[in-house]
Amino acid sequence: MARPGSMLVFTMDAQRYAIPLASVERVFPTVEITAIPKAPEIVLGVVNIRGRVVPVVNLRRRFRLPERGPEIYDHMIVASTGKRVVAFVVDGATGVLEIPESEITALRDILPGAEYIEGVVRLPDGLILIHDLETFLSLEEEKLLSRAMGES
């Protein structure tokens, strides 16, 4: 279940998502992404973050949202999945919310077997889906990405 506490809230196609703030390294305007051969389909490419090459994953593809190219107002979020640091492009980072555990409904209680979303928070102005970074990349995607990044 999602860890209660500070969450970074971001949007994609008017839907709000959140990830634990403790997992976030930084948020910044979108930069140019360099494609890498033999990367998993979920990977857009890589970016240089202060001298470190970081893979950029495609949340739109993962959540079956319409594909679109980067726009000038988009943001990148750099976060740790537990296994590696990744970046992803979002429409915008909207802020940080304190979310008490009592306000989070586990997704497995609503829709057993659903992937990538850990829980749902109901707010007066709508829902926030809490993204599960720990399960974001499948084992096969993780292996392909490691190979494409030249890791052993």
Q: Say how many domains are in the chain.
A: 1
Let me know if residue 29 belongs to a domain: yes
Can you give the CATH number for the domain in which 38 is found?
Answer: 2.40.50.180
Residue 11: give the domain boundaries: 5-141
Q: Give domain status of residue 74, yes or no.
A: yes
CA dist., res. 125 & res. 49, Å (int)? 35
Please tell me the total number of residues recorded for the chain in this structure. 152
- Residue 10 falls within a domain, yes or no? yes
Residue 34 gets which letter from DSSP? B
At 46 the pLDDT is 93
Report the sign of the C-alpha dihedral through residues 9, 106, 108, 138, in that order.
positive
Is pTM beyond 0.85? Reply is: no
Decide if 147 is inside a domain: no
Q: What is the pLDDT of residue 29?
A: 93
User: Does residue 151 lie in a domain region?
Assistant: no
Q: Which of 86, 40, 82 is nearest to 61 (CA)?
A: 40
Residue 17 lies in a domain: yes
Tell me whether residue 80 is in a domain.
Answer: yes
- Residue 55's DSSP bridge partners are 46
Q: Output the tens digit of pLDDT for each of the chain's 152 residues.
A: 445 579 999 999 989 999 989 999 999 999 999 998 888 888 899 999 989 999 998 888 888 889 887 788 999 999 988 788 899 999 999 999 998 877 888 766 776 666 777 888 888 888 888 887 777 666 677 777 777 777 76
Compute the 3-state secondary structure of the chain and give helix, strand, coil in percent, each to the nearest 5: 20, 45, 35
- What pLDDT shows up at residue 1? 43
Quick one: pLDDT at residue 48?
Answer: 93
Instruction: Confirm whether 71 is domain-assigned.
Output: yes
